Structure 1
Amino acid sequence: MMQLKVMEPEQMITDEQVVKIIAEGNNGSFCLEPKHVDFVSALKPGILLYIVGEEEHYIAVDEGILVKCGKQVLVSVLNAIKGDTLEELEQRIRKEFKKTEAMNQASKIVLKSMEADLLLRFLEFEQHR
């Protein structure tokens, strides 16, 4: 067994005993099992698959790094979304994209409002000079 820890900057996503990990690095996909040599890889955005007992679990990961040292496997990524099935993972990713898109739209509206306010203040300043 290996101890898999997947972490974002602000939280632990998972900390579990696993028998196998499949991930995608910059040089392609790879599989880690308990007797695999120590290993380091940059991760590409994609799906990290890990197996607990006989059950598959999934984590969608952003860019990051994976380090295997002995029985410890540490994964550090900027963003991760966990799902027990691919269908659940897809639903969570779609929900997160919708939230992100809504935040981006709100940010654009606020930015346009600030730009308009700045332009009006600049014009007022020019008139009073």
Structure 2
Amino acid sequence: MQLEVLLPARIFLQKAEVLRIVAETAEGSFGLLPRRLDCVAALPPGILTFETLAEGEVFMAVDQGVLVKTGDDVRVSVRRAMLGKDLAGLRKAVEQEFLALDDEARSMREALNKLEAGFVSGFAHLKKVAP
């Protein structure tokens, strides 16, 4: 099978000769083998596992998205993805990424609050000045 993982702004991963894929859905995990029927699945945040002869088993943390299998092509489109050879290392990487995203979101909220406060203050001042 051919595996392609797409992020909003770029292609994250392209792998040829994938032997098997295991994905998680809200209903549970399911496996994809080369001759499986075509399918579509909604993916919640979780772990997607794939195996190649060259690399063996590889784990990928994915944010929510969708998986589409047509013929030998499997396309996964998600918001974010991270690769890891072992689950413990992948967990640490995901935790660090989420902490960084939390800090970024917090600073964006602070900037938005300042912008809103400035707008309200300017609008109140404009209302006082207007006849």
TM-score class, shorter-chain normalisation, is 0.7 to 0.9
Partner of 1:60: 61
Q: Report 1:4-43 matches (<5 A).
A: 4-16=3-15, 17-43=17-43
Partner of 2:85: 84
TM-score, with normalisation over the residues of structure 1? Answer: 0.86
Q: How many residues align?
A: 128
Partner of 1:50: 50
Shift of 1:28: 2.1
- Residues 1:111 and 1:50: Cα distance change in structure 2 (over 3 Å): same
CA distance in 1, matches of 2:117, 2:47: 42
Unpaired runs of at least 5, structure 1: none
TM-score, with normalisation over the residues of structure 2? Answer: 0.85
CA distance in 2, matches of 1:119, 1:20: 56
Shift of 1:43: 1.6
Shift of 1:124: 2.1
- Runs of 4+, deviation exceeding 4 Å: none
Shift of 1:21: 0.5
Does structure 1 residue 3 correspond to structure 2 residue 2?
yes
Shift of 1:61: 1.3
The alignment yields a C-alpha RMSD, in angstroms, of 1.8
Unpaired runs of at least 5, structure 2: none
